[in-house]
A and B are shown apart, each in its own frame.
Chain A
């Protein structure tokens, strides 16, 4: 039986290949004013951005590491290279992307997905984007989808200055400050008024360099009455030293606009994923988050929605899967400000092999948010007795005129269900995998088909050798 419970050697080759760091420009490890200024110079920042970086560095140096979540002791910023750039220019044609980088994204299926089902793709390799392209018809409708750096010199430069790190200021927490100091890469999306982008845009973030950090910034503005589905994916090969991801996602959803933001995160198990995501929703607007967290050693991830306008809505659907060596602290936050706003959180977590999942939710209903509704539902599945699952809900309701619901369930795979499925001829492993996929089903249903398949494959991958 022992051999079967041994899960460390599961085949992650789909994500775990790595390229040598040749032909790359890499800043030395650590975080100093000198390094921050080098990044700023490298990127030819406008003055205000350089100042923001320096201010953020100062805030970073004066802030404490959070002490309320999973331990960050294994993360030492002095050993993290904050900037690694492949010697390549940003291309809008895959043929112009260096062969090994192109090969990486081919293996991850990005160009194929672009041909089949996406309106635009951005691909980041370490600190910089190597590929960015948007379909002509979409570009013609006025949609902008580009890297942040060129957007800073483009038509919407002033808008970016107004919005950049406005929802997530560097004072927010230590790793937001770090992001402000060394951010690089990411995507800028602008969807003009009443424009409906009917097929999704996707950014893929690949961190290849050992001991490096990725700090991409995603800024999306969906104007009044417009609609967008944005997908981000991330992965990295595994190293025996810590890697760090501290991205920032800022989403502005206009009046009556709709934005769906889907993430499939599959970082390697040496990754510290300390990501911040926030959306501001105007009157009658709607933000939908779909979030799949499968990778990383430690995650702190709580996308936040600010329902500012009356009748604005948020829906959060999330799943976390923690295996051995993983401690995934995830959840969502919502602040109701407008009247008749509504939020709905539905999350699932699975832990096995000694992995730990914590679900944190925070619902704040301001005095102004009369007639608002909030519902939080969290289900956890523990696949063995050495794994952990915790639920930490917080609710701060300041008006009597609100409707609030909360539901949490922690359980195990029922032996009766496994027996029932096996009595029809299934192996124990398949029966368990089927039950776990079924448990995750209402999340995978929310994903575009190929991602749903990827998620099920990930579950199968994680479930391999789970019989003990």
Chain B
């Protein structure tokens, strides 16, 4: 069962009238970290949004299963309650809602239980320290006026507080300086340790992967996964780029 905690079968996704993903197959076991790489504009983020259930992304064929449950037709909040999480590439600003109160009500909505305030505050403080976030961010409006780096850290903070069983991190490393990448990596490692969740890291650079143990690497070109390999594939792509893959994609294109 750990083999197929997340099971994506023949997923076709359309945005407006254009098909972006042409049949994605992917399975991720519990505790596994998979990396999805590929050039810009190739459909990586589309996969993230389609998996979490954005209404802008229409699944026209195929299915998504989480822990044996078909969630293909379910609303985004139901997927979240089932254990899914997407770290946004561009987190949204919500004025008047503090980061801390938002995380608290999100936890309560996911679990359906009230959370004790002091327990919550203690955990929040501890995780913020780990992420080297200034405590005052907890009482600031959600993402409002946060720097790019602070927004990404706030996403990882939510990851660690919400403890999902399947997390998708969409370009969490983009726009971060070296120190921030290191901090975010530490946060991701902490998530793996605590939750033993399935992790899909979408990236087109490899900086964030340096300190992470990667189980599988997938290369996406033009809406298809064209190559899958182990951790070493990351280094290979770093050296050689996607040239080999783009020619592969050319061969399978309709």
Contacts and interface: CB of A to CB of B under 8 A. Distances in A.
A425 B109 contact: yes
Chain B contact residues: helix, strand, loop or mixed: mixed
Interface in B72-119: 75-77, 80-81, 85-86, 88, 91-97, 102, 105-106, 109-110
The size bracket of the interface on B is: 20 to 34
B234 interface: no
Interface in A422-457: 422-428, 430-431, 434-435, 437-442
B68 to A, nearest CB: 20
A438 B92 contact: no
Contacts of A425: 77, 80-81, 106, 109-110, 162
B238 interface: no
B97 A424 contact: no
Contacts of B91: 420
Interface stretch (A125-133, A238-246, A250-258, A411-419): A411-419
A430 B76 CA distance: 13
B109 A427 contact: yes
Contacts of B110: 424-425
Contact of B86 (A423, A435, A438, A442): A423
A90 interface: no
Contacts of A37: none
Contacts of B97: 434-435, 437-438, 441
Given A434-B105, A438-B141, A423 B80 contact: yes
Interface residues of A, number: 23
A113 interface: no
| Residue with the highest number of chain B CB atoms closer than 10 Å, among A414, A424, A428 | A424
B106 A426 contact: yes
Interface in B44-85: 52-55, 75-77, 80-81, 85
Contact of A416 (B92, B95, B158): B92
Interface string A393-424: 00000000000000000000010110111111
Given A435-B94, A439-B95, A424 B141 contact: no
Nearest to A438: B96
A439 B105 CA distance: 17
A422 B92 CA distance: 12
A442 B141 CA distance: 11
| Residue with the highest number of chain A CB atoms closer than 10 Å, among B92, B141, B162 | B92
A438 B94 contact: yes
Contacts of A441: 95-97
A33 to B, nearest CB: 52
Given A422-B77, A423-B85, A437-B96, 20 more contacts: A417-B92, A419-B76, A420-B92, A422-B80, A423-B53, A423-B77, A423-B80, A423-B88, A424-B110, A425-B80, A425-B110, A426-B109, A427-B109, A430-B105, A431-B77, A434-B97, A434-B102, A437-B97, A438-B141, A441-B97
